[in-house]
Structure 1
Amino acid sequence: MNWDDLRIIAAVRDEGTYAGASARLRIDETTVGRRLSRIERALGLRLFEAADGVRRPTRSCEAVLAHVEAMAAHAAEIGRVGESLAGPVGRLRIASTNTVAEEVLSPRASDFLRANPGLTLQFLTSSENVKFSRWEADLAIRLRKPDKGDFAISRLGDIKLYYFEPVTTEGEPMLCAYPDELGAIPEMQFLRMKQARARCVTDNVRVIRNLIRAHQAAGVLPEHVCADLLGDRRLRATLLPKRRDVWLLVQNHLKRDAATRVTIDWVRACFQETSRS
């Protein structure tokens, strides 16, 4: 059903003639009759009876009009959505690693969304980078600076890194490392100096954290996932001299969008709070 056609039914009912409906909707009278005939054919119903020069709705038409009026009410409500929501309106897709979404963004998302009722956030979490060229995300948080791309990039800040090892253990602790494709990150540069064979290899930070928490393994963790471990007396924590840079990528066409600007400011605040905590 075409909404413009359905509006004609209500106009003919209210005005009583094709001419009246034509004047009300500002369309040709012939168009009014043609569209009504099309609806009647589609529904297999007769909508109006002519009596004394007036088009009177049939019983079937009254049933149809009940739905049309409900649709008109919903259309009016849609038009008022922007008036009822304070601040910017939009839906933004944010791509990041699982740990950034879980430990940095989501704990602070409730207050942000409550303060901005017109915004919706969609978190896209993966260890793989989204393809900005295909518009798979609106914003992305990356722990490595991209070499190039058709997007705006800015530095969010840096993340402290800690090397954890058990204070006492039988023999050498099991070393946890990241995959070879992450060999350029500060974590791996530090671990290579240990000259020990990695017994666990993963890009999942939570897996490494769980092994370290068992007091049998050693590895490097970012500050936002290891607050509880820093107070564990059975573990020795060493702050690495190098930090991990964090980068924010934004689709170029969204740089001046109000909803995007508010969200960017919130993401920056999330990382600033993480560094202070």
Structure 2
Amino acid sequence: MNWGDLQILHALSQSGSMSTAARSLGISQPTASRRLRAIEDSLGARLFDRLPSGLEPTEAGKRFLPLLSEMDSAAAAVGRVTPSVGGPVTGRVRISLDEVAAQLVIAWLPEIRARAPGVQLELLAAHDFANLTKREVELLIRSCLPREQHLIARKLGSIAYGLYGAADRPARVGIHTESWIGLTEHRLWYPRQKAWLEKHFPADPILSVNDMASMQAAIRQGVGQGLLPCALGDADPDLQRIQDADPALSEMEYLLIHRDVLREPAVRAAVDAIVAVFQENSAQLLGTPVAQAAE
């Protein structure tokens, strides 16, 4: 029995009519009837009773035919992930990521596109988890490992956090009691960074924010000192790093993907390119210690 035989049986099972099944398959009714007889002969069992009202599964058919629905679903899944044969790798890949990872992907986009020129990336900035199983997005960049066994995690690199101030202020190394920028309680996405700031700055913050893009903008405007990922702060000419943060604040970033979706050429190309570029820029993620930078 081949896949064509299974398609005929599935069509007959779904329609209950020889003529309807034949039309859906693009064959004649006599051909469908002959194929069914040949299949039944090869199995040594009658699968359908031919009644005036249509086709009725026999007891043997009732045991065998439900399996065809599972095979049809599996075939559809195969169709979703089957790589295209030949030609350049092209396609759209959606990535859910936080504002830090988004800025890094944008900063390194020329390098990523050089490795995957035919892939169009869509960045969806969010801290909430998009559902990879339901294909809400193709990729997730997060600082935590997945619990689901069908998800794969690729390490991007460890992101270090340093203390920054505005570059147009007098250069001073170390923490000072001047104004500082805190992190909000509401929708707190950086709990360790919040605790570090409150430990080292006992006074109330002059401003609190809940994301690193706002933190960076506030520091740049001279509102006060604040924590930033070194890869963002060091690359900003309007900022100066005044102290390295506690190494405990470093966070490993992961690229998460559904095992089946990874087989798609465009997704595979995007994953390989992003992982390679992040790893090549690992020194920027970790940042240069202030003492070395001053030499």
Structure 1 length normalisation: TM-score?
A: 0.58
How much has 1:191 moved relative to structure 2? 1.8
> Per the alignment, do residues 183 and 193 of structure 1 end up closer, same or farther by CA in structure 2, a change over 3 Å counting?
farther
Residue 197 of structure 2 corresponds to 191
Task: List per-residue Cα deviations over 1:245-275 (Å, max 9, x = no partner).
Answer: 1011101212333332221111112322332
- CA shift for structure 1 position 230: 7.7
How many Å separate the matches in 1 of 2:199 and 2:189? Answer: 12
Structure 1 residues 89, 232: closer, same or farther in 2, change over 3 A?
closer
* Amino acid in structure 2 at the alignment position of 1:162: G
Asked whether the equivalents of residues 127 and 203 of structure 1 are also in contact (C-alpha less than 8 Å), the reply is no
Structure 1's unaligned 5+ residue stretches are 1-25, 29-80
1:98 and 1:130 map into 2 onto residues whose CA distance is 15
Distance in 2 separating the partners of 1:146 and 1:270? 22
- Per the alignment, residue 176 of structure 1 pairs with 182
Question: How big is the shift at 1:220?
Answer: 0.8
- Show the counterpart of 1:274: 281
Aligned residues: 196
State the match for 1:97 in structure 2: 98
1:238 partnered with 2:244: yes
Identity of matched residues, %: 20
Using the size of structure 2 for normalisation, the TM-score is 0.55
The root-mean-square deviation of aligned C-alpha atoms, in Å, is 3.4
Contact 1:175 1:219 in 2 (8 A): yes
Distance in 2 separating the partners of 1:256 and 1:245: 25
Rg larger for: 1
Other-structure match for 1:126: 126
8 A Cα contact 2:127 2:189, kept in partner: no
Counterpart residue type for residue 101 of structure 2: V
Aligned partner of residue 121 in structure 2, secondary structure:
strand
Range moving further from structure 2, 124-133 or 246-255: 124-133
Gap runs ≥5 in structure 2: 1-25, 29-83, 285-295
Task: State the SS of the aligned residue for 2:260.
Answer: helix
* Aligned pairs for 1:154-169 within 5 A: 154-165=154-165
Structure 1 residues 216, 267: CA separation in 2 closer, same or farther (over 3 Å shift)?
Answer: same
SS across alignment from 1:135: coil
Map of 1:223 onto structure 2? 230
